[in-house]
Amino acid sequence: MPPTLLSQELPTLQYSQTRDRFDQSWEAPLAILLGLGRAAGADLVEFFLERVNYISCLAEDDAITSISPSLSTGAGVRVFVGKADCYVSTNDLSFNGLKAALEKALAIMGLHLPAANSFVPPINLELLRDYATVRNKEVWLPNCTSMRDMSDVLLSATAELGRVANHVQSRRASYFRDWQEVLVAASDGTFARDIRLNQSVGYNLLCADGANRSSIGERAGNTSDPAFLTTWNYEKSAQGIAESAGKMLTADYVESGTYPIVMANHFGGVIFHEACGHLLETTQIERKTTPFMNMKGQKIAHENLTAWDEGLSDREFGTIDMDDEGMPAQRTLLIEKGILKNFIADRAGSMRTGHPRTGSGRRQGYTFAAASRMRNTYIAPGEYSTQQIFDSIDKGIYCKKMGGGSVGATGEFNFGVEEAYLIENGKLTKPLKGAILIGEAKDVMNKISMSSQDLGLAAGFCGSVSGSIYVTVGQPHIKVDSITVGGR
């Protein structure tokens, strides 16, 4: 650790930290800057450094229509005084650039750099927790799919879609790779580094036959596997969405009303994520916009329902070794047999609400301050078979594939269903289209009365106060006893 300095010495300091990676050489300058912030009167100071190497590729019909690479480097500094904080970002990672960002953040909080001849004791940071080195993540980027190979895979995928689908109006396959290196240093001693690799690939198919239209999409996501794209089974995926699009093309429109429904596993979990998961983030408690804010230890859902949020599942989209505040990932039990057990908390949320941090401080990038965000969030498997769930319904709707939707601040939601079927006497009888699920989180959570044993997870994207992040949604097949279904 560097020796104690006088503030007047700071302009003459010179550091030679490694420029092409974040390593131990960054300890000395960051320790000084953190000490400078504490000497100015901040209760806590945190730096977040980031490098990103991103590329996306789009194939439309039989041509590559877009290849978009992006490189970025930057840092953000967060200053806390009591429970208040501010955040300033910069793309200047020199010592003076980081110092200027710190000075601006301090000024926003009404603080100033120490006067001349003031002592600036550097912060004693922990030995670097380097998840990237421990898990050999340095090899990920060089081993990712080349631009030529990603183009070949996507063109083969759209060709396969054209081969197996009928009445095709447009077919698209898209892929992106997002490589990120981060370093977190804070005045509480946190000093941690990680590398993340998120990739996603998927189809969009639009079919038309006269006045009939159908649109089906499907995406897969992965973290940590450089060979992900080349192992994508696009033939199987193409066959599945071609069959779905064909059935929905001539399907009858659903009649609006109140029905019992069965929601499929995998991406069916998006409703729990949107309508309930967000309401368990401490950002919602701070705003007083969640109906669950004072209900920890109380029943908020059917006794059948247990739900988790975690960052540990192998290669899932929301899996992280550490969050963007340097806290190791873990598992958080949200709901157990209908009882609210925990909230999802970042550092600021924990300070302001009293709920313990859960390794959930996440952000899109260095221009955003971290906030409480979900990771892999899902309803746990239950005790029923899928057939038992269908057998319990005389007349209802099977929601096989969910589409887009919207959620209000306090949990009111509506979600479109891309692929649905009528259930009669426990059996699927005909395809339906145009279904929209309408409800409110605190009501629908108490109507999820049956869960099967076939938990499935799916990749998703989540937007909130700290930008767009990668998450996993999921559930087994579930029964909702009754819900409003909009249609014709």
How far apart, in whole angstroms, are the C-alpha atoms of residue 320 and residue 313? 9
* pTM, full prediction: 0.94
Distance of CA 341 to the CA centre of its chain: 21
Q: Three-state DSSP class for 54?
A: strand
- Has residue 321 been placed in a domain? yes
Per cent of the chain over pLDDT 70 is: 97
Q: Name the band, by pLDDT with cuts 50, 70 and 90, for residue 487.
A: confident
What pLDDT, on a 0 to 100 scale, did the predictor assign at position 14? 67
pLDDT tens track for 303-358: 999 999 999 999 999 999 999 999 999 999 999 999 999 999 999 999 999 999 99
- Has residue 61 been placed in a domain? no
Residue 441 has pLDDT above 80, yes or no: yes
Please indicate, yes or no, whether residues 291 and 347 belong to a single structural domain of this protein.
yes
- Has residue 98 been placed in a domain? yes
Please indicate, yes or no, whether residues 148 and 120 belong to a single structural domain of this protein.
no
Residue 142 sits in a domain whose CATH number is: 3.30.160
* DSSP H helical ranges for 125-195: 131-134, 147-164
Please indicate, yes or no, whether residues 102 and 150 belong to a single structural domain of this protein.
no
Please indicate, yes or no, whether residues 397 and 320 belong to a single structural domain of this protein.
yes
- Has residue 439 been placed in a domain? yes
pLDDT tens track for 357-384: 999 999 999 999 999 999 999 999 999 9
- Has residue 187 been placed in a domain? no
> Domain range for residue 173?
138-181+194-250
Q: Name the band, by pLDDT with cuts 50, 70 and 90, for residue 301.
A: very high
Please indicate, yes or no, whether residues 165 and 266 belong to a single structural domain of this protein.
no
Cβ neighbors of 409 (< 8 A, separation 6 or more) are 284, 287, 289
What pLDDT, on a 0 to 100 scale, did the predictor assign at position 361? 98
What pLDDT, on a 0 to 100 scale, did the predictor assign at position 156? 98
How far apart, in whole angstroms, are the C-alpha atoms of residue 30 and residue 133? 20
Please indicate, yes or no, whether residues 238 and 314 belong to a single structural domain of this protein.
no
Distance of CA 271 to the CA centre of its chain: 14
Per cent of the chain over pLDDT 90 is: 91
Q: What angle do CA 12, 15, 20 make, to 5 degrees?
A: 150
Please indicate, yes or no, whether residues 266 and 375 belong to a single structural domain of this protein.
yes
Q: Name the band, by pLDDT with cuts 50, 70 and 90, for residue 12.
A: low
Please indicate, yes or no, whether residues 377 and 296 belong to a single structural domain of this protein.
yes
